[in-house]
Structure 1
Amino acid sequence: MHFVNLFLVSLFIFSSYVKAATLRGTLETAPGIKYDPSMTKITLRSSTAIHTTTLKRSSSIAAFAFPNVTIGSYMLYVSNPDHIFPVLRVDISDADVAIYQAHRGNDWTVTGPRVAYPIELKPIGPAVYYVPRESFNVLKLFKNPMLLVSLVTLVMVFVMPKMLNSLEPEQLKDLQERHSKNQAVLNNRNPMNFDIASYLAGKTAESTSSEPVAESESTIRSRK
């Protein structure tokens, strides 16, 4: 008997400690906006509990309610195939129900602007599932690097000969001499002309050029 009394007392203390509240709210309605109750789901989620509800069918307004919600912090989500709704944070305490705008990814200690209670959710916009195909735009063609390079090349092909023809003979000759000198310097510095076999054998350009002469003299003596 003593054990039963102790159990009833502890149950009474626990029930008085764990208080519950009814969370109410509505979805904003406007001309042309309709919410299908069978396809609209409202979820109240915390780290330890998940509550779900739907819109009231008998009501002329889009209303919802969460009965017996215990004290704590929750996130409120609205799932609807036609509209996107913001996410709210709900803090239920002994004396107050605080509603805040929430953003995914923020720290839990960071709260957004406070929202009035009872909750009145306004859709952010319609849910878009299909991206329209982009139309043809001529200006975007000129933003293509390959097209710009091709245009510059065409301009050089048609403009450069006319520029060279407009030069005086002395200037053209001077330009050709400079070009030949620069080409000779580039050929000497070109790593493709480097003879790695001669370099590893310790031969220089002069020694390699003199070797064929020596060989030709020895062949001439042998023939004599």
Structure 2
Amino acid sequence: MSVFSSHNVPAGTHLIEVAAVGYFFSPVRVDVSARNPGKVQAALTENRRGLNELVLEPLRDEQYYEIREPFNIMSLVKSPMGLMVGFMVIVMFLMPKLVENMDPEEMRRAQEEMRSQGVPSLANLIPGAGRSTS
């Protein structure tokens, strides 16, 4: 416990803030009366409770570092990357099942239709790529 004293404090309102490593103290408002010499009133700023003695207790221990959250598998699943991977895994397993359930005749018609339409080549898609420059 430390004891402090102050002398010749001018009249008015003053704020006492205690700085101690690892602890948080509520600031104290001290009113020194100009009309009545020697009359001092002190009150905690947190709850405006008056103090008869200026004895301060720490409100709480100070946390300087953020506590790391423990590992959670659901945080991986809920992340955008986890959602994309989950979607791709579902597609990977469902697409073969959908293709197996298709009618073979309908599949053949779809393949012939795609051949007749022709698949555009990359040279046709890029402007100027199919032409030779002189």
The TM-score with structure 2 as length reference comes to: 0.62
The one of 30, 39, 42 equivalent to 1:90 is 30
Distance 2:25 2:65 in 1: 19
**Match for 1:139 among 60, 74, 80?**
74
Structure-1 separation of matches of 2:109 and 2:31: 85
Counterpart among 63, 88, 99 of residue 153 in structure 1: 88
- Whether the aligned pair in 2 keeps the contact of 1:84 and 1:127 (CA below 8 Å) is yes
Structure 2 match to 1:127? 62
Unaligned runs of 5+ in 1: 1-36, 38-54, 57-63, 103-112, 199-224
Q: Which has the higher strand share?
A: 1
Q: 1:73 to 1:197 in 2, by over 3 A?
A: farther
Could you tell me which amino acid in structure 1 is paired with residue 128 of structure 2?
D
What is the CA-CA distance between 1:168 and the residue it aligns to? 1.8
Q: 1:90 to 1:189 in 2, by over 3 A?
A: farther
- The 1:85–1:100 alpha-carbon spacing in structure 2 relative to 1, beyond 3 Å, is closer
- Alignment identity in percent? 28
Corresponding residue to 1:194 among 104, 117, 127: 127
**Residues 69 and 194 of structure 1: CA distance in aligned 2, closer, same or farther (over 3 Å):** same
> Per-residue deviation at 1:163?
0.7
Out of 38, 42, 45, the residue aligned to residue 101 of structure 1 is 45
Consecutive unaligned residues of structure 2, counting only runs of 5 or more, are none
Q: Which has more radius of gyration? A: 1
1:160 Cα deviation (Å)? 0.5
Which amino acid is 2:96 matched to?
P
RMSD: 4.0
Tell me the CA shift for residue 166 of structure 1: 0.7
User: Using the alignment, how far apart are the partners of 2:64 and 2:12 within structure 1?
Assistant: 35
Equivalenced residues, count: 127
Structure 2 matches for 1:10-29, cutoff 5 A? none
Letter of the structure 2 residue corresponding to residue 90 of structure 1: V
Decide whether the 8 Å contact of 1:98 with 1:114 is kept in 2. no
